[in-house]
Amino acid sequence: MITYVYDGSFEGYLTTVFEIYNRKKNPDGIFTTSTYMPFLMEEKYEVSTNIERAQRVLAGIESKGSKDIAAKIYNVYLSEHPAMEMLLFQYIKLILQKGSAIEHDYRQPEILKVKEINKQIHREVHRMHAFVRFQKTTDNLYYATVTPDFNVLPLIGEHFEKRYSDQHFMIYDSKRNYGLYYDQQQTMMVECGAEQLERQSEFVAEEKVYEALWKNYFQSVNIIERKNVKLHLRHMPKRYWKHLTEKK
Amino acid sequence: MDRINQKLTVLANAAKYDVSCSSSGSKRKNQDKGLGNAEGMGICHSYTEDGRCVSLLKILLTNHCIFDCAYCISRRSNDIQRAAFTVQEVVDLTINFYRRNYIEGLFLSSGIFKNADYTMERLVRIAKDLREIHHFHGYIHLKAIPGASAELLTEAGKYADRLSVNIELPSEESLKRIAPEKNYEEIYTPMNFIREEKQRYTDERKSIKSTPLFVPAGQSTQLIIGASPENDVQILNLADSLYKEQQLKRVYYSAYIPIPTDSRMPNLALPPTLRENRIYQADWLLRFYKFSVHDIVNDLHPNLDYDIDPKLSYALRNRHVFPVNINTAEYEMILRVPGIGVKSAQMIVTSRRFGNVHFDHLKKMGIVTKRAQYFITCPGAPAASIDRHSSQVRQLIQSPELRKKNSQLILFA
């Protein structure tokens, strides 16, 4: 039984792929330092993250495969799917062996699975585009808290930056304890201390006014004669409600 | 603020029967660090309890109206509360909702007060203020008021991403009966004008890159279903000609919500939402599945089957074109199989280049084999399925609730 353990970063994962090829020893399991549990009779290899090696793997994927395939692999990594490491290893192996065309052979279980997870990721990204609700703080920051199913913050910055290029905003993932912060110049990943989070819960007076107007609007466009709760819930699952002004 | 809240209640409530909520298909990008971006896919920011998408701030500028169209809640003779927004109020609501990520933009319509131009001018002024004073690049959908001047429509087209004129009644006879102050000519005149202008701008753009956008997300319209006697052939033929000849981006269908107090209108117990749903499904077959109207409804079958979807209905009536061989058939034929959507059809076509696609692969790709099995051949497919009689297949596929309902009907008949 051969296991590889890496630090949980994407670069760490790509370094792991490098090491597997380098050592010519296929893994029976790939874990992060936090998911790893020791097995009896195992041969364990601890990977130390190496940016240069990670980049070589990425370059290999992009040249044998494509930029698009590399992006799909990153998305699967962000999915935090429990078996994601081994799935991606099989997938990368296929791509490196057979080239980019193989990504459309959906008869192969790994290819189908990567496609499925990408679909879930895209849906979650789309939900974040839709369900982020900013509140204006006394520091003139438009602030939103989210708890997405997957770690999609790295995928949504560009969308909000294009749209709100003239306003400071922060989208904070309270499940993973970090946020995207845009200062009208660039978007960056930030962590917030308790004090800062406190400050970000003080809103300007007009905030209440617009929240009330929005709730009123939401009620007023509903057509009672067409009530369809099942459809409503399918589009807006309950777990998102806690961050939605109109459903709170 | 209470006054604004009251106006919003009245004027959102009056606008909600216009079902269009699309915010997609525009090419407008953020520029010079302004506010908003309307390029690319539309986003539904919320869903009402009736399951409809909320993408835009959809309101009337006013529900005062000089017309008396029987289908319309804002008709002159209806005894309801009236209200009107000021230009500034609409602008403030749009900007502040947009900044909080509640909406993609504004969908502004209006009752006709004084006359068409007077009304259109105010709609245009709001769009102009949003674009020029507030540097707003989000989505704007304006109603083109029938009878408005060419100058105003041209100006509207420069600020709006989409313009729409609602046809509402699917035939001119019905329109005359239900909305005596309207006629088809007045509806088609602005629609034609906008189509021609858009074409002109598009052509000009090919040689002069700096040509401004003109209604980049195109035109749409709405038809009311069930308020007048037209059958589904008439409705779908009208929609088809609107897509092909008027180059509309979307035709929306809205189940008639009964107005029991007006003698010009039919007295239904409930809005015909199932019929509306079947018409939407047929509309999708026209736009994405390469069906013709004749495939779906025709003189022999002038109305859609409400118990099963139109694609299944087509397949059961045309067993002679099935079974489709999954590994050799043209893409167009694979699209015709019930249970196979556009995405799965594409997956089949790309995968089979690498070798035979088996029945098990189809299941894993997410194809509804429970439906598809009666219409396909491929290795591993249950052989007996394709020999079943259409009436039997229909029975086997129908949803359990429907089967229950039908058996109850038989029991009580």
Q: Are residues A199 and A212 in the same domain?
A: no
The total number of residues written for chain A in this structure: 248
CB contact under 8 Å between A217 and B12, yes or no, is: yes
Say if CB B127 and CB B160 are below 8 A apart: yes
The confidence score (pLDDT) of residue A226 equals: 84
Pairing mode, if any, of strands A29-32 and A2-6?
parallel
> Which residue, chain included where needed, has tokens 């509360």?
B81
Q: Are residues A145 and A103 in the same domain?
A: no
The confidence score (pLDDT) of residue A92 equals: 97
Over 70: is that where the pLDDT of B171 sits?
A: yes
**Confidence grade of residue B2 (pLDDT, cut at 50, 70, 90):** confident
Alpha-carbon gap, residue B168 to B225, rounded angstroms: 9
Over 70: is that where the pLDDT of B406 sits?
A: no
CB contact under 8 Å between B364 and A109, yes or no, is: yes
The total number of residues written for chain B in this structure: 413
Q: Are residues A97 and A31 in the same domain?
A: yes
Alpha-carbon gap, residue B309 to B394, rounded angstroms: 11
Say if CB B163 and CB B194 are below 8 A apart: yes
The confidence score (pLDDT) of residue A48 equals: 96
Amino acid at B143: K
Say if CB B10 and CB B83 are below 8 A apart: yes
CA proximity to B234, closest of B296, B317, B164 = B296
Residue B68's Cβ-count burial label (10 Å; 0-12, 13-18, 19+) is middle
Pair of tokens at residue B96 = 């502040």
Please state, for a pLDDT cut of 90, what percent of chain A lies above it: 87
Over 70: is that where the pLDDT of B187 sits?
A: yes
Q: Which of B9, B51, B99 sits opposite A231 (nearest CB)?
A: B51
pTM to 2 decimal places: 0.92
Q: Are residues A79 and A144 in the same domain?
A: no
Residues 40-99 of chain A with CB under 8 A from chain B are: none
Q: Are residues A186 and A214 in the same domain?
A: no
How far, CA to CA in Å, does A140 sit from each of A160, A192, A203, A204, B236?
A: 17, 17, 9, 8, 51
Q: Chain B: nearest CA to A151, how far in angstroms?
A: 20
- Bridge partners (DSSP) of residue B167 are none
CB contact under 8 Å between B271 and A226, yes or no, is: yes
Owning domain of residue A222: 205-248
CA proximity to A145, closest of A241, A15, A230, A2 = A241
Amino acid at B247: Q
Q: Are residues A117 and A105 in the same domain?
A: yes
> Which residue, chain included where needed, has tokens 């495939």?
B295
CB contact under 8 Å between B36 and A163, yes or no, is: yes
Chain A residues in contact with B57 by the CB 8 A cut-off are 217
Chain A residues in contact with B354 by the CB 8 A cut-off are 102, 105, 107
The confidence score (pLDDT) of residue B59 equals: 96
Q: Chain A: nearest CA to B391, how far in angstroms?
A: 30
Pairing mode, if any, of strands B105-109 and B56-60?
parallel
> Which residue, chain included where needed, has tokens 């979807």?
B309
**Confidence grade of residue B402 (pLDDT, cut at 50, 70, 90):** low
Alpha-carbon gap, residue B63 to B110, rounded angstroms: 6
Alpha-carbon gap, residue B27 to B43, rounded angstroms: 15
Q: Give the Cα-Cα-Cα angle B401, B370, B395 (nearest 5 degrees).
A: 45
**How do residues A58-78 score in pLDDT, each as one tens digit?**
999 999 999 999 999 999 999
With an 8 Å Cβ cutoff, is A112 touching chain B?
A: yes
Residue of A94, A98, A100, A105 to mutate, testing the B interface (most B Cβ within 10 Å of its Cβ): A105
Q: Are residues A89 and A196 in the same domain?
A: no
Q: Which residues contact B317 (CB under 8 A, 6 or more apart)?
A: B301, B390
SS3 A127: helix
CB contact under 8 Å between B47 and A228, yes or no, is: no
Q: Lowest mean pLDDT: which of A29-33, B292-296, B394-398? A: B394-398
Kind plus residue range of the DSSP H or E element containing B184: helix B184-207
Residue of B45, B59, B274, B277 to mutate, testing the A interface (most A Cβ within 10 Å of its Cβ): B45
Count up the domains in chain A and report the number. Answer: 3
> Positive or negative, the Cα torsion across A108, A113, A119, A122?
negative
Mean pLDDT (chain A) is 94
Pairing mode, if any, of strands B219-225 and B162-164?
parallel
The confidence score (pLDDT) of residue A209 equals: 95
> Which residue, chain included where needed, has tokens 């905030």?
A207
Q: Which of A76, A99, A123 is the last residue of a domain?
A: A123
Q: Which residues contact B176 (CB under 8 A, 6 or more apart)?
A: B182, B183
Say if CB B232 and CB B304 are below 8 A apart: yes
Alpha-carbon gap, residue B109 to B44, rounded angstroms: 20
The confidence score (pLDDT) of residue B413 equals: 36
Alpha-carbon gap, residue B60 to B340, rounded angstroms: 41
Rg of chain B taking only CA atoms, in angstroms: 24
Q: Chain B: nearest CA to A9, how far in angstroms?
A: 31
With an 8 Å Cβ cutoff, is A239 touching chain B?
A: no
CA proximity to B111, closest of B120, B102, B124, B101 = B120
**How do residues B77-130 score in pLDDT, each as one tens digit?**
999 999 999 999 999 999 999 999 999 999 999 999 999 999 999 999 999 999
With an 8 Å Cβ cutoff, is A39 touching chain B?
A: no
With an 8 Å Cβ cutoff, is B57 touching chain A?
A: yes
Mean pLDDT (chain B) is 92
Q: Chain A: nearest CA to B347, how far in angstroms?
A: 7
How far, CA to CA in Å, does A97 sit from each of A47, A65, A67, A100, A108?
A: 24, 10, 17, 9, 14
* CB-defined contacts A:B, below 8 A: 153
**How do residues B265-321 score in pLDDT, each as one tens digit?**
888 888 898 999 999 999 999 999 999 999 999 999 999 999 999 999 999 999 999
* Averaged pLDDT, A137-155: 96
Over 70: is that where the pLDDT of B139 sits?
A: yes
Q: Are residues A67 and A17 in the same domain?
A: yes
Q: How many CB atoms lie within 10 A of CB B26?
A: 27
Residues 163-192 of chain A with CB under 8 A from chain B are: 163-167, 184
Over 50: is that where the pLDDT of B409 sits?
A: no
Pair of tokens at residue B386 = 């394709």
Q: Are residues A34 and A139 in the same domain?
A: no
Q: Measure CA A95 to chain center.
A: 23
Q: Which of A123, A143, A175 is the last residue of a domain?
A: A123
Torsion angles phi and psi, residue A229, rounded to 5: -65, -35
CB contact under 8 Å between A142 and B99, yes or no, is: yes
Alpha-carbon gap, residue B8 to B15, rounded angstroms: 10
Alpha-carbon gap, residue A72 to A59, rounded angstroms: 14
Nearest chain B residue to A211 by CA distance is B97
How far, CA to CA in Å, does B205 sit from each of B154, B159, B193, B199?
A: 16, 17, 18, 10
DSSP state string for B301-328: S-S--SSS-HHHHHHHHTGGG--EETTT
Alpha-carbon gap, residue B14 to A217, rounded angstroms: 12
Q: Are residues A118 and A9 in the same domain?
A: yes
- Bridge partners (DSSP) of residue B219 are B163
Please state, for a pLDDT cut of 90, what percent of chain B lies above it: 77
CB contact under 8 Å between A133 and B101, yes or no, is: yes
Q: Which of A60, A93, A123 is the last residue of a domain?
A: A123
Kind plus residue range of the DSSP H or E element containing A43: strand A43-46
* Averaged pLDDT, B2-8: 93
CB contact under 8 Å between A246 and B46, yes or no, is: yes
Chain B residues in contact with A144 by the CB 8 A cut-off are 101
**Confidence grade of residue B1 (pLDDT, cut at 50, 70, 90):** low
| Domains along chain B with CATH numbers | 2-224 (3.20.20), 310-412 (no CATH)
Say if CB B387 and CB B395 are below 8 A apart: no
**DSSP class of A205:** T
- Bridge partners (DSSP) of residue B222 are B252
Q: Are residues A88 and A151 in the same domain?
A: no
**How do residues B351-378 score in pLDDT, each as one tens digit?**
999 999 999 999 999 999 999 999 999 9
Q: Which residues contact A85 (CB under 8 A, 6 or more apart)?
A: A13, A16, A30, A31
Kind plus residue range of the DSSP H or E element containing A32: strand A29-32
The confidence score (pLDDT) of residue B91 equals: 97
CA proximity to B56, closest of B106, B108, B130 = B106
> Which residue, chain included where needed, has tokens 């993973």?
A176
The confidence score (pLDDT) of residue B410 equals: 46
CB contact under 8 Å between A225 and B350, yes or no, is: no
Residue B328's Cβ-count burial label (10 Å; 0-12, 13-18, 19+) is exposed
Q: Are residues A8 and A73 in the same domain?
A: yes
